[in-house]
Amino acid sequence: MEQVTIWNRLGKGLNYTLLTLLAATCVIPFLYVISVSLTPISEVIRKDGLVLIPSHITWTAYEEIMQGGRLFDAYKVTIFRVVVGTLLNMLFTVTMALPLSRKAMPGRSGFLMFVVFTMLFSGGMIPSYLIVKEVGLLNSEWALIIPGLVNAFYLMIVKSFFEQLPEAIDEAARIDGAGEISILVRIILPLSMPVIATIGLFYAVWHWNSYFDALLYINSPENQPVQLFLRQILLASVAISGDAAEAANSVNPVSVQMASVVVTTLPIVAVYPFIQKHFTKGVLVGSVKG
C-alpha cells in the first residue's frame, strides 16, 4: 500500500513538473517579447538580445509606432473591419448553412458541390483584383470585407452542426405559427452558440491578422489597417549600426518589431479568455457529422 502511495506521489510530481515546463514554454516567449519592446537598444546589444526583465524601461519603440497618430487611424479601420466584417461573415454563413443542412432542400447536392469546389480551386489573385477594381471597391474598407464574406470551410462546420439539431424542433415551431426567421433567431441560434462563438472567433482573428488583401486593394494611407501600417514601419526600420553609444540614441528595429507584436496581439489575448469555453466544444461538435 505504501509502495502504491509512493508511485502516486512520483506520478503527480512528474505531472506537475511537466505542466510547469509546458507553462514556462508558453509564458516565457510573451515575457521576452514585452521585455525587448521596453528595453533600450544598448542593453539589448549588451545581453545579445536575451532580455527577460529589463533593467531600464524605455517607450521609444512604442513612440516610434504611434508617431503622427496614424496608428489610431489604422486601428479604426481594423476595428471597423473586424466588427462589421465578422457580423456580415456570420450573417451570410449562418443563413447559407441552415438551408444546406436540411436534406429536403431542392438542389442541395449541387450547392454543396459548388461549395466544396471553391475549397479546392480559386480564381487566383489577378482575377480577384480585377473584380474588386471593376466593382469600384479599390481603396475602400469594403474591399477587405466583401470578397471574403463566406469561408467554405467554416460554412461546412456550421452546416454539420445544424444537421445535428433535430428537424422536429422546426416542425413544432411551424405548427405554432413561427416563420423561418423566427425559427432561426429564437430556436436555432440559441442552440448553436458554441459553434457560432467559435466560427465568429475564427473570422475575427482572420480579419485582425490579414494584411495581404489590404496590400493589394488599399493604396491610400488613411484606409490602411493596423497590420499593413505596422508592416510598413518594420520594412522602413534600418539595421543597428555603429557602436553602443551611437546605438543608444537610435531606435532599435528589434524593439520596434516586438512592440508591433504586442500592439497587434494584445487585443486578441484580452478577448480570447471570454469565449474560450465555447472554442473547443464548438469545433468538436461541429465536426462530428459531415
What is residue 241's predicted lDDT score, i.e. its pLDDT? 41
What is residue 93's predicted lDDT score, i.e. its pLDDT? 93
Q: What's the residue count for the chain? A: 290
Neighbours of 244 (CB within 10 A): 14
Give the three cell numbers for residue 102.
436540411
Neighbours of 200 (CB within 10 A): 20
Nearest to 164 by CA among 129, 194, 185: 194
Alpha-carbon gap, residue 33 to 266, rounded angstroms: 12
Neighbours of 96 (CB within 10 A): 17
Share of the chain above pLDDT 90, in %: 11
Residue 101 pLDDT exceeds 80: yes
Alpha-carbon gap, residue 140 to 86, rounded angstroms: 17
Per-residue pLDDT reduced to its tens digit, 232-269: 777 776 544 444 444 444 566 777 778 888 888 887 77
Q: Which residues contact 219 (CB under 8 A, 6 or more apart)?
A: 138, 139
What is residue 247's predicted lDDT score, i.e. its pLDDT? 45
Per-residue pLDDT reduced to its tens digit, 184-218: 888 888 888 888 888 888 898 889 888 888 888 98
> In terms of pLDDT, which residue wins out, 95 or 180?
95
What is residue 260's predicted lDDT score, i.e. its pLDDT? 81
Domain covering 70-228+263-286 assigned CATH 1.10.3720.10 in the classification: yes
Angle in degrees, CA 121, 279, 90, rounded to 5: 55
Neighbours of 116 (CB within 10 A): 13
Residue 280 pLDDT exceeds 80: no
81 pLDDT tier (thresholds 50, 70, 90): very high
Nearest to 267 by CA among 208, 211, 214, 227: 208
Residues 50/57, Cβ–Cβ less than 8 Å: no
User: Per mean pLDDT, which range of 141-145, 207-211, 242-246, 274-278 is the poorest?
Assistant: 242-246
286 pLDDT tier (thresholds 50, 70, 90): very low
pTM over 0.85: no
Alpha-carbon gap, residue 39 to 94, rounded angstroms: 47
What is residue 10's predicted lDDT score, i.e. its pLDDT? 79
CA distances from 124 to 121, 155, 180, 207, 221 (A): 9, 21, 36, 20, 26
Alpha-carbon gap, residue 61 to 46, rounded angstroms: 18
What is residue 75's predicted lDDT score, i.e. its pLDDT? 87
281 pLDDT tier (thresholds 50, 70, 90): low
Residues 119/152, Cβ–Cβ less than 8 Å: yes
Residues 210/144, Cβ–Cβ less than 8 Å: yes
Give the three cell numbers for residue 71.
496608428
